[in-house]
Amino acid sequence: MATEPKVRLRGLYKIFGARHKEVLHHVKEGMGKEDLLEHHKHVLGLQDINVDMQAGEITVVMGLSGSGKSTLIRHLNRLIEPTAGEILVDGIDVMALSEPDLREVRQTKMSMVFQKFALLPHRTVVQNAAMSLKTRGFSEAEQQSEAMKWLARVGLQGYENRYPAQLSGGMQQRVGIARALTANTDIMLMDEAFSALDPLIRTDMQNLLLELQDELQKTIIFITHDLDEALKLADHLVILKDGAVIQQGEPQGILMNPCDPYIEDFVSDINRARVLRVKSVMEPLSGSKFAGDVDVGDNLESLIARSEGDTSLHYRVMSGGTAVGELHMRDLVKALVPRLSSSEDVSPPKS
C-alpha cells in the first residue's frame, strides 16, 4: 500500500456556528464538545481528522449518530465547508477549487448515494439514473444506453419507465446506486446508504455492493452506524466519536486489538465467530500434523462447524495454494472472547 492515497484528509476541523473561525483555537487547545457548546455556543462537528483513503478500497467510517460521520463525508465534495484543514483528491486540494472547478470534480470524480435515496420524484427511473450524464450534457442516446446498462447491472431491468414512488425502498436505493455508477466516477460516497432498508434487503444490498466492487474497484467511502455492516464491507475502518477519530485501520485488527474502552464496548456485542477470519488468529507455520487445510479468508464460524467443536485440532492455513501458517483451535476459541483493557475495569462507564 505504498501508492499515493486517492483521498487524503489532513487536520480537518469543522465547527458549526457564526464565529467558527474565532473559536477554532479553543478546540485546537483541547476544548471538548460540551465546553465549546456551553461557553461559546458553537457545535463541534469534526476535530483533527487525518484519514487516507486508498484507491480501490472500501473505507468505512463508523460512529453513532452525532459522531460527525455524515458531516465528514460531505466535506469530501464540499457540500459542507470545513473550518480548517486540507482535503486532497488525486493530489488536488479540493478547498482551493473555484466554483466551476468544484462542479467539475463533483460531476466527474465523485458520485454520492444517500440514506434517503434523494431521487427526483418527477423523473422516471432511467432519467434518474442518467442524472449525472444529463447534467454533463451528454446526448439523449448516450444517457439512455449508459443508464440502462447500470440499471440492468443492479437488477432493475424492466423498471426503467416507472417513477421512484412506485418502487420499494430497496429498489429505490438500487436506482441510487445505478445513478452513482452511471456517473462513472472513481470515487463513490455512500452516506448511510443501506440504513433505511430492512435487514434482509440490507444484506442483499451489501452483497451487491461487494460484488460490484470486485468487478469495478472503485474507491468507496461508506458511512454507517452498524458495526456488522462496517466489518462486512470495510477494507479500512475508521471509528469516529464526538467528531474525532479514535481508531482506524484494518477491521480485523481493530476487532482483535481495540485501543479504547469505547471501541471495546462496541465490539463486544458482535458475533466474533462470523466476523473474524483465519488470518487474524493464525500463527507462523511450525508443526506438521494437521487435521486439514483451511483458507486465510475463512471465518471462524465455518471452522468451528468443520472441527465439530474439537479444540485439540490444528489446521494448515492456505493462501492461493501455498501454506502460510497454522491455526490451533484452542487459539480460535480464545479469540472469541472479547479482550478487555483491564480486569478491574471490566465494563467502562458509558458516557
Partner 1 sequence: MAFYDSVFKALGLSDWCGAEASSAPMSMADLLAQSSGEATKEEFFPFPSLDNLNESCSGIIQSRDVTKGIEEGFLAAKPTLKAILDPITQPLSWLLDGALWTFAATPWFIMVPILVAIAWFASRSVGVTIFVAFSIFLLGLVDHYDVAMQTLSIIFVCTGISVMLGVPIGIAMSKSDRLQRSLVPVLDLLQTLPTFVYLIPLIFLFSVTESKLYGIAIILYAIVPVVRLTDLGIRLVDQDVIEAADAFGMTSRQKLLGVQLPLALPNIMAGINQTIMMSLAMVVIASLVSAPGLGVNVLRGIRNLELGVGIVAGIGIVLLAVILDRVSKAALSRVDMTRVKH
Binding site for partner 1 (CB under 8 A): 77, 79, 102-108, 110-112, 114, 116-122, 131-132, 134-136, 163, 165-166, 179, 183, 189
Residue (97 or 256) nearer to partner 1, CB: 97
Q: C-beta of 155: minimal distance to partner 1 in Å?
A: 21
Q: C-beta of 315: minimal distance to partner 1 in Å?
A: 47
Separation between Cα atoms, residue 179 and residue 150, nearest integer Å:
8
Residue 289 burial (CB < 10 Å; 0-12/13-18/19+)? exposed
Q: C-beta of 47: minimal distance to partner 1 in Å?
A: 24
Distances in Å between the alpha carbon of 263 and those of 167, 250, 332?
38, 14, 21
Separation between Cα atoms, residue 37 and residue 43, nearest integer Å:
6
Does residue 185 sit in helix, strand or coil?
coil
CA end-to-end span of the chain: 36
Read off φ and ψ for residue 56, nearest 5 degrees: 80, 5
Q: C-beta of 132: minimal distance to partner 1 in Å?
A: 5
Residue (146 or 242) nearer to partner 1, CB: 146
Distances in Å between the alpha carbon of 13 and those of 6, 72, 130?
20, 10, 35
Q: C-beta of 149: minimal distance to partner 1 in Å?
A: 18
Place of cell 493530489: 91
Q: C-beta of 118: minimal distance to partner 1 in Å?
A: 4
Residue (180 or 276) nearer to partner 1, CB: 180
Residue (136 or 274) nearer to partner 1, CB: 136
Residue (180 or 227) nearer to partner 1, CB: 180
Q: How is residue 139 written as a grid cell?
A: 446526448
Q: C-beta of 246: minimal distance to partner 1 in Å?
A: 28
Sequence-separated (6 or more) residues with CB below 8 Å from residue 6: 53, 54, 55, 89, 90, 186, 187, 219
Q: C-beta of 167: minimal distance to partner 1 in Å?
A: 10
Residue (113 or 231) nearer to partner 1, CB: 113
Q: Which residues of 179-210 are buried (b: 16+ CB within 10 A; e: fewer)?
A: bbbbbebbbbbbbbbbebbeeebbeebbebbe
Residue (54 or 108) nearer to partner 1, CB: 108
Residue (185 or 307) nearer to partner 1, CB: 185
Q: How is residue 128 written as a grid cell?
A: 434518474
What residue ranges in 22-68 does DSSP mark as E strands? 43-53, 58-62
Residue (189 or 275) nearer to partner 1, CB: 189
Say what angle helices 169-182 and 199-216 make with each other, to 10 degrees. Answer: 20
Separation between Cα atoms, residue 281 and residue 29, nearest integer Å:
40
Q: C-beta of 109: minimal distance to partner 1 in Å?
A: 9
